[in-house]
Amino acid sequence: MSKKGLIVLLVLVSVLLLSGVVNGQKERVVSLPFWDVPGLIPYYWQAQHILAQGTIFEGLFGYAPDPGGLGGVKVVPVIAQSYRVSKDYKVWTFKLRRDKKWSNGDPVTARDFEWSFKYYASPKIPDLPAWAGPHQFIENFWAVKSGAMDPDKLGVKALDDYTLEIRLATPRYDMREWLCVAQGVPIHRKSVEADPQNWWRPGKIVVNGPYIPVSWTPGKDMVLVKNPNYVGERGNVDKIVLKFGGLGLQQYMAGELDAAMINSVAEYRFVLADPKLSKEFHEDVMDCFWNGYQWSRGFDPIMDNIKLRQALAMAIDREKLCKDVLGGRAIPLNKYWPDRNPIGDKMKGIPFDVKRAQQLLAEAGYPGGKGLKTLVFYITGGGDPVVEFIVDQWKKNLGINVIIENVESGLYWNSYVWPNFSPDAKAGFTVIGAPMNNLEIGALMKNSDHTVWFYDFPTSARKKRHELYQEYDAWLRKTCGLTEADWKPLLEKRNTLYAGFKKIIDSEPEKLWVADLTRPPLWYDQFDELYEKWKTAKTNEEKTNYWRLAGRVLTDQEGFQLWYNNLSPESKQAYRWRYRTINRPFSEAVKIAHYALQLMQDRYYMVPVYLAKAQWVKSPKLEGLMLYKFSWGPGFFNFKYLNLKD
Amino acid sequence: MGLVRYILRRLFTIFVSIVVVIIITYILMWLAPGEFFNIAQFQASGGRVATLTPEQLQVLIKGFEEKYGLNVPLWKQILNYLKDAFRFKFGPSFSNPNEPIEVQIARRFPVTFTLAILSMALAVIVGIPLGVIAALKRNTWVDYITMFFSMAGSIIPAYTIGVIMVLIFSVWLRVLPTSGWETPKQMIMPVICVALGPMAVIARFMRSSLLDVLNQDYIRTAYAKGGTDRAVIMRHALRNSLIPIVTIIGPQLAFLFTGTVWIENLFRVPGLGQLFVNAASMRDYPLLVTSTFILSLSVMLMNLLVDVIYAFLDPRIKYE
């Protein structure tokens, strides 16, 4: 071979080798377990909302890892560069980064946000789960959503390409936190308008996050690749394969996954006993939940007895439960937030004190459990070892009989666990896993504020409140209101309620609460306006409608006054603290949330028992895996921080 | 012509039956406690919905009912559903508003169909010979072992067998992937797991059916005429003993379309089972009605197919 030929050959070999090496290093693929994603529209409350939070979409703000923070995250600006907020926390103005791009190369601008938010609010999406996003607080949102107002009137405006103004209906101190969630992300206008039904399918979807979905099979997997137009911090992973379902640990052991959640005590023990897996094992506490029980939402006066409630809460050996029943996959929890947490550290727990519990039970009128009727613990889905343990503890420690009743799942969750009231429920309990859906100030209460709304007033008042809820709905079906005579009882009631309202306003010491109650439009102004409209209404249909709406306004106010006037002093105080908490920035709210929480916890209607641990194994080569600790968790999310070591 | 007329008559009966089934399903759904909106959103929100004002809640409920056509009287809902269903248009489901149910079914049906057909083929190919062997060697150790395994196949849940197979073949031996549905290798374990149940049923039915036929007079006559074991069994006994097997294969196949949910979850097979079982557990009513529609239709069509096959297997059967 000639010298020239040899050189050409060497160059070719080098290029081939080099390209092989480069390719080998280039394609960094990570396979992870994920929730089964049924679609990619970000605003629906489905698995994709987790994917939309920082992986395929980004909003003005997002989550970054913070091991010491609530939920293990902190809020950081992503598309927002800076912001300012008006003194009353109702007008938020954001300056956007100028370098952010969609995956097709288009710039991400304030106009994308304006259009998207108006699109989400429009009646074009009648089933938007508005409770899951920030739009519910934006000025005119509810009027726009109901179709009564044009979407253009929504309080969102791009002042220029890179300045966005959001006007709120009421002050919100946690808009930054709310803007992290999936409904806070923009979608790409041109692609949505080009194909409103299918814009979100892989191959068509235009995203602004670090990864683009390129294939998706529901029930099986989704493949994401790096977005070449993404600007911002991200790891070195080129391709992510999200696998839905399957045997996670076995997939991991077979080398098909780079991380897997541990789903049972058996798996946990197996992993700990395995020399290799035990080194790859990790765990964290799911601090955004609390797991325990709540009293049923029925109307049995037995639950009005606080000493009975307290006795039951104190008679559970939570340590034993976590060790023997939950196999070490949970920590005992006797307060809504755990220890070593900015809120939990300031709270006092419910002690495990059988003697004190027995004494309280006797003081409640049931010494040794005698004279107390059999209570019912509602569960769903077959056996529940935690409930069996609790029931056994109550029997053993207090002599109380509780039977376990299995209820169909849909009925259980929607008629026993989460509704305001359950008229059919017998005296007893349901389990409750109260979660935070996302970081927001109200959610710091982790649903324990249901104590204030639905529990802590006498049974007779609870029952009346339930009847008023029903009456409120019934007004829509009433057929009357055509004559002045129909208005007479309403006008009388209006005046009585007005007197009651004035009394509340004048006596309530918490200014924030008063400010909220007196914020226009006031209920009596609404009533008077409806009455005036009725007078000039032309058709019978219109007349009936105004009369109905006026009746609803009064029923709503009557419900409020009944609630306010019957609420226990402790819960009223808790509500005042709740007001103080939600009326300050998130970081400040965290510092005082314990006051309201403690007061509500000490009513013993909603009782914490344990906190689950998230446990997983992961390849030592994989870094930057973020645990999702909110209500869909545990799982992994926000994959932009993933790094694969060579 | 007789057969064609018979099929047309049966198709009409199927149509009427489906209408009745859907009406009953709708009424049951309507009678079940709980509002549709609450069912779909209360649990999902984790109590968040309770923080909305009544007016706000009304806006959401109105929008929700509008999306799912629940804002009209029940009779109209049923009529609208039936009108669309017979054109295979089912609208969106509560649990997946992203795309209509028919798109979800169209994507998943081929997977389930393949899984069901492959599994049933395996069940037939293995189950029939097993039943024949057990019948021919009745009350011997061969019979006992065959029946023991067929009994085990029907009582051990396919899910358990699946987990054991994954441990052996994927984790320890690493010869098969743990899951997936793209390559033939990925299909081996799910197909075997799904086939085990029907295989056991077929083997037991085949055994008893063949034993029954072997005791018939015409078999004795065949032997008396000098027929060998092989000739008598293959020519006379087997064909007639297959009739009860055909009866059970039809409905078994129909139920495989929806009854493979555990295997689908375990092996990440993106089939219909997951979709339909989730419908029931999550009270996803649009999907629940549709799964009733599809399952009823499948069972009825399979039964029709079985009846038609009878005519080919047994010349005595004539359809008027």
What pLDDT does B40 receive? 66
Q: What is the mean pLDDT of residues A154-170?
A: 97
Going by C-alpha positions, the residue among A394, A346, A349 that lies closest to residue A369 is: A394
- From B49, B52, B97, residue closest to A127, measured CB to CB: B97
**d(Cα A133, Cα B154) in Å, to the nearest integer?**
49
Q: What is the mean pLDDT of residues A534-543?
A: 93
Whether A23 has a pLDDT exceeding 80, the answer reads no
Whether A18 has a pLDDT exceeding 50, the answer reads no
**d(Cα A449, Cα A30) in Å, to the nearest integer?**
41
pTM reported for the whole predicted model: 0.88
Whether A451 has a pLDDT exceeding 70, the answer reads yes
Cross-chain Cβ contact A246/B62 below 8 Å: no
Side chain identity at residue B173, one-letter code: L
What pLDDT does B254 receive? 72
Residue located via tokens 């008893």 = B208
Query: Given the DSSP bridges, would you call strands A402-406 and A375-379 parallel, antiparallel or unpaired?
Result: parallel
Please give the domain boundaries of chain B with CATH numbers for all domains: 107-281 (1.10.3720.10)
What pLDDT does B279 receive? 78
Give the SS3 label for residue A82.
Answer: strand
Top residue of B36, B39, B60 to mutate, by most chain A CBs within 10 Å, is B60
| CA-based nearest distance A265→chain B, Å | 17
What pLDDT does A382 receive? 78
pLDDT band for A2, please (50, 70, 90 cuts).
low
Helices (H), B156-216: 158-165, 184-214
Top residue of A37, A124, A131, A422 to mutate, by most chain B CBs within 10 Å, is A131
**d(Cα B209, Cα A451) in Å, to the nearest integer?**
65
Question: Which chain A residues have a beta carbon less than 8 Å from that of B51?
Answer: 131, 442
Q: Cβ atoms within 10 A of the Cβ of A139, count?
A: 18
What pLDDT does A399 receive? 97
Question: Which chain A residues have a beta carbon less than 8 Å from that of B34?
Answer: 410-411, 414-415
Of A143-157, A340-354, B287-301, the one with minimum mean pLDDT is B287-301
- From A243, A250, A631, residue closest to B171, measured CB to CB: A250
What pLDDT does A21 receive? 45
Please enumerate in sequence order all residues whose Cβ is within 8 A of that of A372, keeping only pairs 6 or more positions apart, or say none: A302, A308, A366, A400, A401
Retrieve residue A631's tokens.
């209500």
Q: What is the ipTM of this complex?
A: 0.83
Going by C-alpha positions, the residue among A210, A68, A146 that lies closest to residue A642 is: A210
Going by C-alpha positions, the residue among A70, A25, A30, A210 that lies closest to residue A618 is: A30
Residues A306-320: pLDDT tens digits? 999 999 999 999 999
Cross-chain Cβ contact A410/B46 below 8 Å: no
**d(Cα A20, Cα B188) in Å, to the nearest integer?**
34
What pLDDT does B151 receive? 83
Q: Cβ atoms within 10 A of the Cβ of A538, count?
A: 7
Q: CA of A438: how far to CAs of A72, A74, A289, in Å?
A: 12, 12, 11
What pLDDT does B303 receive? 84
Q: What is the mean pLDDT of residues A512-526?
A: 93
What pLDDT does A634 receive? 95
Higher pLDDT, A446 or A156: A156
Cα B161 from chain centre: 19
Going by C-alpha positions, the residue among A330, A308, A306 that lies closest to residue A318 is: A330
Q: CA of A127: how far to CAs of B40, B57, B74, B148, B309, in Å?
A: 11, 12, 20, 54, 48
DSSP class per residue in A559-614: HHHHHHHHS-HHHHHHHHHHHHHHTS-HHHHHHHHHHHHHHHHTT-SEEEEEEEEE
Cis omega (within 30 of 0) on the bond before A634? Answer: yes
What pLDDT does A20 receive? 43
| CA-based nearest distance B53→chain A, Å | 10
Cross-chain Cβ contact A246/B266 below 8 Å: yes
- From B32, B98, B275, residue closest to A39, measured CB to CB: B98
Going by C-alpha positions, the residue among A306, A346, A318, A260 that lies closest to residue A615 is: A260
- From B32, B56, B264, residue closest to A219, measured CB to CB: B264
Residues A244-286: pLDDT tens digits? 988 899 999 999 999 999 999 999 999 999 999 999 999 999 9
DSSP-based helix, strand, coil % in chain A, nearest 5? 45, 20, 35
Radius of gyration of chain B (CA): 24
Radius of gyration of chain A (CA): 28
Q: Cβ atoms within 10 A of the Cβ of A550, count?
A: 25
What pLDDT does B155 receive? 85
- From B43, B50, B167, residue closest to A420, measured CB to CB: B50
**d(Cα B267, Cα A383) in Å, to the nearest integer?**
26
pLDDT band for A156, please (50, 70, 90 cuts).
very high
Cis omega (within 30 of 0) on the bond before B54? Answer: no
Q: What is the mean pLDDT of residues A134-162?
A: 96
Cross-chain Cβ contact B42/A631 below 8 Å: no
What pLDDT does B1 receive? 64
Cross-chain Cβ contact A127/B63 below 8 Å: yes
Retrieve residue A119's tokens.
């699109």
Cross-chain Cβ contact A437/B45 below 8 Å: yes
Give the SS3 label for residue A185.
Answer: coil
What pLDDT does A16 receive? 45
Cross-chain Cβ contact B170/A254 below 8 Å: yes
**d(Cα A608, Cα A413) in Å, to the nearest integer?**
18
Give the SS3 label for residue A109.
Answer: coil
Residues A32-57: pLDDT tens digits? 999 999 999 999 999 999 999 999 99
**d(Cα B95, Cα B286) in Å, to the nearest integer?**
9
Question: Which chain A residues have a beta carbon less than 8 Å from that of B39?
Answer: 410, 414
| CA-based nearest distance B155→chain A, Å | 21
Top residue of A418, A438, A449, A617 to mutate, by most chain B CBs within 10 Å, is A418
- From A38, A131, A142, residue closest to B48, measured CB to CB: A131
What pLDDT does A56 receive? 98
Helices (H), A263-418: 265-273, 275-279, 306-314, 318-320, 354-363, 385-398, 409-411
Q: What is the mean pLDDT of residues A482-503?
A: 96
What pLDDT does A22 receive? 45
Q: What is the mean pLDDT of residues A559-585?
A: 96
Question: Which chain B residues have a beta carbon less than 8 Å from that of A40?
Answer: 98
DSSP bridge partners of A637: A626
Is A370:A399 a contact under the CB 8 Å cutoff? yes
Cross-chain Cβ contact A437/B32 below 8 Å: no
The proportion of chain A whose per-residue pLDDT surpasses 70, expressed as a percent, equals 96
What pLDDT does A198 receive? 95
Helices (H), chain B: 2-31, 36-45, 54-67, 74-85, 101-136, 141-155, 158-165, 184-214, 217-224, 229-232, 238-256, 261-267, 272-281, 285-313
The proportion of chain A whose per-residue pLDDT surpasses 90, expressed as a percent, equals 87
Going by C-alpha positions, the residue among A388, A396, A287 that lies closest to residue A338 is: A287
Retrieve residue A387's tokens.
């409930």
Whether A289 has a pLDDT exceeding 60, the answer reads yes
pLDDT band for A19, please (50, 70, 90 cuts).
very low
The ranges of chain B with pLDDT < 50 are: none
Going by C-alpha positions, the residue among A386, A320, A328 that lies closest to residue A354 is: A320
